[in-house]
A = this chain, B = another copy of it.
Amino acid sequence: MPYELYYWDGIQGRGEFIRLALEEAGAKYIDKCRSSTGTQAMMEFLKGDHGHAQMPFAPPFLKDGELVISHVANILLYLGPKLGLVPEDEKSRLIANGLELTITDFVAEVHDTHHPISTSDYYEDQKTEAKARSTAFIKDRIPKFLGYFERMLSANPSTGSFSIGKDLTYVDLSLFQVMEGLHYAFPKAMKALVKDYPKLSALRQNVSKRPNIKAYLKSERRLPFSESGIFRHYPELDLNS
């Protein structure tokens, strides 16, 4: 039975971290909300119509038979071994989950660059605060997070150029998406900063050339970045030129 991915229709958002893992592995999955009845089906889970064990707080969530798994890091924790996207030993899996949770925190901060006051209000209603938060994000938070990921890539004792062990993991796919998103949202800032992150940049290139990812990125299944997602390009929030 194919996996069923539930995520808001029309955006990459947090669902994209799951899509990349499924696509790299060539797994069979249904991106539920891209069908006409999918969003309605998703809302039934969120409302609790399917009971305690199938009542996630928010999308994305993955349905695999009777299991309903919510939160990106939890889904990848579950899928990683099944898709061959994490080493088998416990130590590596705990490191992978720790890294994915660091990515999770960073992605939440990316979201708040355009919504620092309220997720219920429009960006246009919090533009001044968004500029202040984005300025701090570019100055302090991008270097803190990317610096850490770069150090982890550098410190990996295995041959290869991945974050854990010698082979690609789901963490590397998520780091690819983070780098793609940052370049989309903050092109001027990234142009100025990217020289400090050669291993992350190489990883981004390497991932983009993997056959399954390359085919996915060209397909209609890969939605474009947009100003409805998490990584948004508002030129006024980017580094001042």
Question: Nearest CB to that of A94 among chain B residues?
Answer: B69
Mask, A61-91, CB within 8 Å of B = 1, is 0000011011101100110000000000011
Task: Give the residues in chain B near A133, CB-CB below 8 Å.
Answer: 116-118
- Within 8 Å by CB of A129, from B56, B69, B129, B140, lies B129
A132 contacts B117, C-beta separation under 8 Å: yes
User: Would A117 and B136 be within 8 Å (CB), given that A51-B157, A71-B101, A108-B108 are in contact?
Assistant: yes
Interface size grouping (class) on chain A: 35 or more
A234 on the interface (CB 8 Å rule)? no
- Tell me if A's interface is mostly helix, strand, loop or mixed: helix
Across-interface contacts of A132 in B (CB, < 8 A): 117-118, 129
Residues of B within 8 A of A90 (CB): 67
Which residue of chain B has the shortest Cβ distance to A58 in the bound complex? B102
Instruction: Determine how close the nearest CB of chain B comes to the CB of A107; give it in whole angstroms.
Output: 11
Instruction: Judge if A208 is at the interface, Cβ distance under 8 Å.
Output: no
Of residues 109 through 144 on chain A, the ones whose CB sits less than 8 Å from some CB of chain B are 112, 116-121, 129, 132-133, 136, 140-141
